[in-house]
Amino acid sequence: MNRALRSLTLLCLLAVWKVPTLASTDVRSTVAYAPQPDYPMGAVIRGWEGAGVFRCNVRPDGAVSSVIVLQSTGHAILDQAGIAAFQRWRFKPGSVKAVKIPLRFSTHHGIRHRMAGAVIAD
């Protein structure tokens, strides 16, 4: 792998964590564990980018029971990377039932996600 591609790869793999303040419920305070999605190397090499919205359904114990793609990133490989990461997320027990999380993969800015929708009521 040449030096330029290595530098690009490192840049692309840097993740930026940005979570805005929510008016109704501060979801940030409910997150116990939130690993960043991996930017798949195949997508990086091809220059694939995309933004999507994912819904995490949360069990009473705080584990994510399922992840639904509400809006695709435009590439199945990026959607799968988002799903894989969000399935590992953990919330404080009993704090939320579902959360919408926007996610952006960008070869210029790495990976960005934030819990911007509010908590979804049952």
Residue 78 sits at φ, ψ, to 5 deg, of -75, -40
Q: How many CB atoms lie within 10 A of CB 3?
A: 7
Is-above-0.85 flag for pTM? no
**Which element (helix H / strand E) includes 104?**
strand 98-106
Q: What is the pLDDT of residue 28?
A: 77
Domains, the chain: 3-113 (3.30.2420.10)
Q: What is the pLDDT of residue 98?
A: 93
Q: What is the pLDDT of residue 26?
A: 65
Please say whether the beta carbons of 86 and 99 come within 8 A: no
Q: What is the pLDDT of residue 108?
A: 80
Please say whether the beta carbons of 12 and 49 come within 8 A: no
Given a cut of 70, the residues of the chain with pLDDT beneath it are: 1-26, 110-122
Q: What is the pLDDT of residue 114?
A: 58
